[in-house]
Structure 1
Amino acid sequence: MHPDETSRWTPPPKDPARPTDVRRVVRLFRPYRARLTLVGLLVGAASLVSVASPFMLREILDTAIPQGRTGLLSLLALGMIATAVLNSVFGVLQTLISTTVGQRVMHDLRTAVYERLQRMSLAFFTRTRTGEVQSRIANDIGGMQATVTSTATSLVSNLTSVVATVVAMIALDWRLTIASLLLLPVFVWISRRVGTERKKITTQRQRQMAAMSAIVTESLSVSGILLGRTMGRADSLTRSFADESDRLVDLEVRSNMAGRWRMSTIGVVMAAMPALIYWVAGIAVHGAGGTVSIGTLVAFVSLQQGLFRPTVSLLSTGVQMQTSLALFQRIFEYLDLPVDITEKDDPVRLPRVRGDIRFEGVGFSYDPASPGRTLDGIDLTVPAGGSLAVVGATGSGKSTLSYLVPRLYDVTEGRVTLDGHDVRDLAFDTLAASVGVVSQETYLFHASVAENLRFAKPDATDEEIVAAARAAQIHDHIAGLPDGYDTVVGERGYRFSGGEKQRLAIARTILRDPPVLILDEATSALDTRTEHAVQDAIDGLSAGRTTITIAHRLSTVRDADQIVVLDHGRIVERGSHDELLALDGRYAALVRRDAQLVHTA
């Protein structure tokens, strides 16, 4: 593997709060404009209904009760009850619609990030920890749930309530309204400061959660458990996880407590406002020669108290939105990742592929800016139905060469063609259907045997699955299991041996039936007896197909039509097995090394 592949991907620095990010967040809700408009209407109706109650209360205190008008009193009391019922109905409908919209937006985000990652090249995943990717999809998008499901609606609802309440307060008494709103600019300034502080902490917290997710993914997989136990590092891994968790605790506490005292001060002042109103009404207004009726005063205080909840909620919503921008920025970082392997606007689709492969002046580097190259000046031809074996020392570029055919990487120089077409011009579905890969690292899903095989061909019949398993010489073993093809293979297939997993991978490839086959050291990790069984299955799979074999054990490539020896990314020898032995060069030395290893074993 190229050294640049192992470096961890780090996102570019972001400005703390860019207008473009806010606009992008707003654009996420555009497909749901009609529903959001309905929410806005419900919010407006609820706000108008809610401010009617204080006016009815004033009429009760100033007119209905003093004048003994029981009919008016009953009507006003029923009106206050009706407003409460309407508010509840509007609230339920508003919550239902806003929650649905929010969940759909989260679904769109998750799907967009997943789709973007599916389009990334293999190089991205070799330099990015799996836990980091999972954290973006699970923790970051999950952390935005409150924002996208309720914050937007809360903002509209509380803003409407504040405006309607202030208008109603002015209608009751403009002097008392001015006294009530004097400190509002200070409250807004405090909430913005708190929001900025929490946003910074949230960014750090999400990075810490990503680090923890990476540790869990790596150390609690089957491979991680095996490594930890056999190396006696279980306690050390636990301590490492505990340290990361401890850092997260500190960040969570800081996030929750950031600005808490300042926000509490706002709450205390708002709660003390009725006393100020009584004082203003009793001294300032009265001293100026004005009069305020008891009904007006009670109604005003009721409105003022009603203003407290949406105002504090509005300020808190502003803080929440600033905090959520940190999460949105992390998601946008992934959505903005450049896709270096793309499909042309008018790709070539081949109805039938013969399997003629050519490498024409191919050069490749994991980092085009660096002087060194993984592959340099590769010229090869593999005719349809022919076989090519690529051998060489570790790090010579063998696997990289094979990965250029299915476009897991794109060439830096030259081109790779399939039936005369540059693979970069072919449609992705044509290329996927044409080139099958069986690698040393067999990946099986935590699902049944049948489901793992059907991943290659979702519409495969049971008969086709059995036929593929027979061809891969694994049917008898599967049939002997208690649940047969319904047997769950376990995490990464650990219920099966290495040879069994390889034969399952071969069966999966047989089911797909590609005309071109890449065998990337498919038997190098197996013992000799198992290798023979798997090699028999591979021989059956290779028959009639164009085959490129990356080999570590040379016993598997003796019959190849053409063998090339790579050294530091260049072809240093080529020919048949007998021709290369007669040359007595690199290949002959590798054969002698294999023979010595077999003799020693």
Structure 2
Amino acid sequence: MHTELDHDIYDDMVQKHVSWRRIAKLFRPHAWRLFIVMLFIAVAAVGGTIAPFLIRAIVDDALPSRNINLLYLLVLGMGGLAALAASMSMLQVYFTTHVGQSIMHDLRVKLYAHLQSLSLRFYAYARTGDIQSRISNDIGGMQALVTNTIADVAKNVSVVLATILAMFFLDWRLTLLSFVTVPVMIWLNQRIAERRERIMYEQQMKLADMSSMVQETLSISGIILGRTMGRRQHLVNRFTKSSKEVSKLEIRAHTAGQGEWVFIYFGIDILPALTFLVGGGILVNYGSITIGTLVALIALQERLLWPLLELLHTNVEVRKARSLFARVFEYLDTKPDISEVDQPIPVSRSKVRGDVKFENISFTYDGQNKPAISYVDLAIPEGQRIAIVGKTGSGKSTLSYLMTRLYDVDSGRISIDGIDIRNLSFDTLASLIGIVTQDVYVLQGTITENLRFAKPDASHDELVAAAKAAEIHDLITALPLGYQTMLGERGHNFSGGEKQRLAIARVLLRDPPILIFDEATSALDNRTEASIVASIHKIGANRTTIIIAHRLSTVRHCERIVVLENGKILEQGSYSELINQNGAFNKLTHSELLPPRISDLSVGGV
């Protein structure tokens, strides 16, 4: 159960991220369609208020005088009004559905595009399941609001206003009587709406928890972990508990305030009886109204109260939807901590030499007291092959993150050909640097689709050339479907080494002047690694190549080796220079950190 502090936090978040003006802005691009919808609603509302007057004419004029022609004419008029209302309703549904779907599409795309702009710092703490929940569950939950609710509100408001005017025209005394219970109903309705809004927010949080649990435990990695650890039943129990919490909140969301609704329904149901009682008393004692007027006013009252009840229900739904907007807008208001400069420096790929410099850079991860990189100065001339080695946590991979602007340095600068990388556009920087990491991500699709993700317009010959350079072409052509072979989620029908070779081919397809291999050969067997390393040195002949590795066989042929420890450079030089010194590199080669051989521990294969 939420505490009062939780309520305060929620109220602060809603006040910070959500306003009705901001929600209204979503509808501005569709103003002309909404205008047409309002026109349909106004026509239907005016037509609906005419019907009771026709009823009064039937009761007071046509029936007493037995004028069958007048009766036919009045009934025909009522039929025409019904046909008009049905036509307006059909057109209204058509236009509001288009508006609602367009708004949902725009909001989904805007949120997805914004999430793409956020740095790794955001994703280091955000849960994938929660992100998915906000894109699908939360925006999907707004569907009813933007598709139906707004139009329903306009329709019901127009009906209520038109009906009130018609009722006052018939008899102002009985009209005022019709509103005697309305203030109490509105007050009760606000209590219900506030309660259900908070429950909806809590419910969406629990749904996000459940979505994260499903995403984590029903992936291939999650299944392997659960079964090899003998924790399948534990995971089922966790999911059962989470699902039960969602079910309880679902029940609360639909039943909260039911006691108040009883009084609201009673207030609506009792009004016709009061009108008959008061109206009948006036008719009997004073004769100031006719029977037809009383019947017409009762008909109008029925037409008034049910739209009013719908507005009360809509108020609850709108308040519930506000909690969904709060979750979506919270992400949209998350500021990217890494952004492009207003006027990036244009750089031609063909003119880039690949001269890289780390100039007195420092960087600390959020929540860490100790810097990951501390005042590092490192110059890598164009075309040089350099290796970066060190213990786990020494800052090797952090350098690659900073160079590709997945994070930004806290101080100092990184430059390519003398240009600070922060002055380049993201697309330009991505075109200059290709990176292959240890944790290879393979898209679900064909091999061709995975390769062309790097270069959509690549020809088949270019795919083959990149695959041959990465020593994977022969493996692909041996498959029944060759380059059209489907890869499962995260490429689990490929071994770890095969996925890394595919990733290397994907990077080579882009032909960047600077290459970074971050433990890119760690999952390869010795023969394949030797072949890949030879290929790396061959393709890196005219490129600046940075190899981050633990294995001696990967780095020994590099022109320069840099040893990191605790985010600082301890020593650097050629392999022969460092191996003959009794320094940090010499100690690494005699430890398990730079073993000359390593077994291929990857599971599976094609």
TM surpasses 0.5: yes
1:90 pairs with 72, 88, 91, which one? 88
- Letter matched to residue 335 of structure 1: L
Aligned pairs for 1:52-63 within 5 A: 52-63=50-61
Equivalence for 1:27: 25
2:318 pairs with 1:321: yes
Are 1:502 and 1:534, in contact at CA under 8 Å, matched by a contact in 2? no
Report the 3-state secondary structure (helix = DSSP H, G, I; strand = E; otherwise coil) of the residue aligned with 1:519: strand
- Letter matched to residue 346 of structure 1: Q
Are 1:499 and 1:534, in contact at CA under 8 Å, matched by a contact in 2? no
- Letter matched to residue 304 of structure 2: L
How far apart are the structure 2 equivalents of 1:377 and 1:285? Answer: 95
Equivalence for 1:103: 101
How far apart are the structure 2 equivalents of 1:572 and 1:56? Answer: 96
Are 2:283 and 2:290, in contact at CA under 8 Å, matched by a contact in 1? no
Task: Decide whether aligned partners of structure 1 residues 206 and 366 sit closer, same or farther in structure 2, where only a CA change above 3 A counts.
Answer: same
Give 1:535 shift.
3.0
Give 1:308 shift.
2.1
- Letter matched to residue 342 of structure 2: D
Aligned pairs for 1:407-422 within 5 A: 407-422=405-420
Equivalence for 2:446: 448
Deviation digits for residues 166-216 of structure 1 (CA, Å, limit 9, x no counterpart)? 111111111111111111111111111111000110110011011001101
How far apart are the structure 2 equivalents of 1:290 and 1:320? Answer: 45
Task: Decide whether aligned partners of structure 1 residues 600 and 264 sit closer, same or farther in structure 2, where only a CA change above 3 A counts.
Answer: closer
Equivalence for 2:224: 226
Are 2:355 and 2:381, in contact at CA under 8 Å, matched by a contact in 1? yes
Report the 3-state secondary structure (helix = DSSP H, G, I; strand = E; otherwise coil) of the residue aligned with 2:403: coil
Equivalence for 2:346: 349
Task: Decide whether aligned partners of structure 1 residues 284 and 69 sit closer, same or farther in structure 2, where only a CA change above 3 A counts.
Answer: closer
Deviating more after overlay: 415-424 vs 177-186: 177-186
Are 1:448 and 1:489, in contact at CA under 8 Å, matched by a contact in 2? yes
Equivalence for 2:569: 571
Equivalence for 2:604: none
Deviating more after overlay: 533-542 vs 99-108: 533-542
Equivalence for 1:266: 264
Equivalence for 2:249: 251
Task: Decide whether aligned partners of structure 1 residues 516 and 561 sit closer, same or farther in structure 2, where only a CA change above 3 A counts.
Answer: same
Report the 3-state secondary structure (helix = DSSP H, G, I; strand = E; otherwise coil) of the residue aligned with 1:574: strand
Equivalence for 2:308: 311
Task: Decide whether aligned partners of structure 1 residues 552 and 16 sit closer, same or farther in structure 2, where only a CA change above 3 A counts.
Answer: closer
Deviation digits for residues 368-410 of structure 1 (CA, Å, limit 9, x no counterpart)? x865211111001111111121111001111001111111110
Are 1:60 and 1:76, in contact at CA under 8 Å, matched by a contact in 2? yes
Equivalence for 2:555: 557
How far apart are the structure 1 equivalents of 2:235 and 2:59? Answer: 70
Deviation digits for residues 40-91 of structure 1 (CA, Å, limit 9, x no counterpart)? 1111111001111111111111111211222221111111111111111111
Task: Decide whether aligned partners of structure 1 residues 114 and 295 sit closer, same or farther in structure 2, where only a CA change above 3 A counts.
Answer: same
Deviating more after overlay: 466-475 vs 79-88: 466-475
How far apart are the structure 2 equivalents of 1:532 and 1:499? Answer: 13
Are 2:444 and 2:487, in contact at CA under 8 Å, matched by a contact in 1? yes
Give 1:526 shift.
3.3
Are 1:21 and 1:329, in contact at CA under 8 Å, matched by a contact in 2? no
Equivalence for 2:359: 360
Task: Decide whether aligned partners of structure 1 residues 599 and 299 sit closer, same or farther in structure 2, where only a CA change above 3 A counts.
Answer: closer
- Letter matched to residue 253 of structure 1: I
Report the 3-state secondary structure (helix = DSSP H, G, I; strand = E; otherwise coil) of the residue aligned with 2:515: strand
Deviation digits for residues 479-498 of structure 1 (CA, Å, limit 9, x no counterpart)? 12121111111010011111
How far apart are the structure 2 equivalents of 1:417 and 1:433? Answer: 15
| Structure 2 unmatched runs, 5+ | 1-7, 600-606
Equivalence for 1:292: 289
Aligned pairs for 1:140-155 within 5 A: 140-155=138-153
Give the number of aligned pairs: 589
Are 2:359 and 2:412, in contact at CA under 8 Å, matched by a contact in 1? yes
Give 1:108 shift.
1.4
2:77 pairs with 1:79: yes
TM-score by length of 2: 0.94
Give 1:469 shift.
1.4
Report the 3-state secondary structure (helix = DSSP H, G, I; strand = E; otherwise coil) of the residue aligned with 2:263: helix
Task: Decide whether aligned partners of structure 1 residues 541 and 491 sit closer, same or farther in structure 2, where only a CA change above 3 A counts.
Answer: farther
How far apart are the structure 1 equivalents of 2:256 and 2:409? Answer: 51
Task: Decide whether aligned partners of structure 1 residues 550 and 365 sit closer, same or farther in structure 2, where only a CA change above 3 A counts.
Answer: same
- Letter matched to residue 15 of structure 1: D
Aligned pairs for 1:97-496 within 5 A: 97-284=95-282, 286-287=284-285, 289-351=286-348, 352-367=351-366, 371-496=369-494
Report the 3-state secondary structure (helix = DSSP H, G, I; strand = E; otherwise coil) of the residue aligned with 1:106: helix
How far apart are the structure 1 equivalents of 2:261 and 2:499? Answer: 59
Give 1:538 shift.
3.2
Q: What percentage of aligned pairs have identical amino acids?
A: 47
Task: Decide whether aligned partners of structure 1 residues 70 and 531 sit closer, same or farther in structure 2, where only a CA change above 3 A counts.
Answer: same
Are 2:551 and 2:597, in contact at CA under 8 Å, matched by a contact in 1? no
- Letter matched to residue 113 of structure 2: E
Deviating more after overlay: 412-421 vs 56-65: 56-65
TM-score by length of 1: 0.95
How far apart are the structure 2 equivalents of 1:513 and 1:17? Answer: 48
| Structure 1 unmatched runs, 5+ | 1-10
- Letter matched to residue 311 of structure 2: L
How far apart are the structure 2 equivalents of 1:502 and 1:12? Answer: 45
- Letter matched to residue 354 of structure 2: G
Equivalence for 1:507: 505
Are 2:550 and 2:594, in contact at CA under 8 Å, matched by a contact in 1? no
Deviation digits for residues 487-533 of structure 1 (CA, Å, limit 9, x no counterpart)? 11101001111111111111111111111111111112333344334
